[in-house]
Amino acid sequence: MRWVAGMLLAAAPALAGGFWNKKPFPEWSREQVLELLTRSPWAESETVLFDFREAGPRRQVTWKDLGVPGSGPGPVISAGSPVGGIGAPKTKDKIEAQINVRWSSALPVRQAAALTKFGRDGLQEPGAKELLEQQPKFYLLEISGVPAAVAYAGIPVMQADLYRDVRLITGSGRSIAPEAVYITPKGAKLNIAIRFLKEPPITLKDKTLRIRIEYDLLKIKRKWNLREMVYQGKLEL
């Protein structure tokens, strides 16, 4: 995988015979947990350079841009604040960010997340059991580490744009629109959560998944081979 100026250009080569299908959970080492969360069929993490000198023109938006049902003509909103109403932060010309893209709904990712948060000795705690035993109703793709300055028009506008434009395309030709998009600020970074309905389900017959996300400097083009995402004999997303 190669990242340039905020763009994910290609998928990483497949990792043949991953430890997750050879070594039982929760016997994974700390290094293996990190590998699963950052360099596996379900997750990729890379350092990305965002050059804000190349950003598009800052635009004025109205409530119509947000796609909120029932919203009519309203006042113009000044673009500039990633969280709305607190003033635009000062932005450096260039920001280097560690971007992680992962299928957080996949069982092995949830298992690795539980080990990270609770440790092997804490897997019987209520929070860990909830994370491990839940049956997700959605496919959840998360993108973390995005500089907050990318959402210069405001988080509601960015959410609405991604909800309108993002599509998950299967190798069988299906186009799947998001059920919802949530963006959460975490300090100077954003976490983007994109949910897709599980009905009808994605199966191995779909062969591949690909997604293209473009929002100003944030440009992600990603493809997954579904055969590589089989865990304990089952496709996990």
pLDDT per position as a tens digit, 92-130: 678 888 999 999 999 999 999 999 999 999 999 999 999
Residue 27 has pLDDT above 80, yes or no: yes
Confidence of residue 56 (pLDDT cuts 50, 70, 90): low
**How does the average pLDDT of the chain come out, rounded?**
82
Report pTM: 0.81
Residue 229 has pLDDT above 90, yes or no: yes
Q: CB neighbours (10 Å) of residue 107?
A: 20
What is the distance between the alpha carbons of residues 227 and 213, in angstroms, rounded to a whole number? 23
Tokens 């340039």 belong to residue = 4
Q: What is the pLDDT of residue 81?
A: 41
Q: Which two tokens stand for residue 23?
A: 């070594």
Rounded to the nearest 10°, the torsion over CA 198, 200, 204, 206 is -110
Residue 169 has pLDDT above 80, yes or no: yes
The tens digit of pLDDT for each residue in 58-104 reads 544 444 544 533 333 333 333 344 444 333 445 567 888 899 999 99
What is the distance between the alpha carbons of residues 121 and 130, in angstroms, rounded to a whole number? 15
Q: What is the pLDDT of residue 85?
A: 37
Residue 138 has pLDDT above 70, yes or no: yes
The backbone torsions φ and ψ at residue 228, rounded to the nearest 5 degrees and listed phi first, read -80, -10
DSSP state of 202: P
What 3-state DSSP class applies to 144? strand
DSSP state of 188: T
Beta strands per DSSP E along the chain = 3-4, 7-8, 39-40, 43-51, 94-103, 138-147, 168-170, 175-176, 180-186, 189-197, 208-215, 218-225, 230-231, 234-235
Q: What is the mean pLDDT of residues 132-149?
A: 93
Find the angle CA(43)-CA(144)-CA(212) to the nearest 5 degrees: 70
Number of structural domains found in the chain:
1
Q: What is the pLDDT of residue 91?
A: 59
The range of the structural domain enclosing residue 153 comes to: 3-235
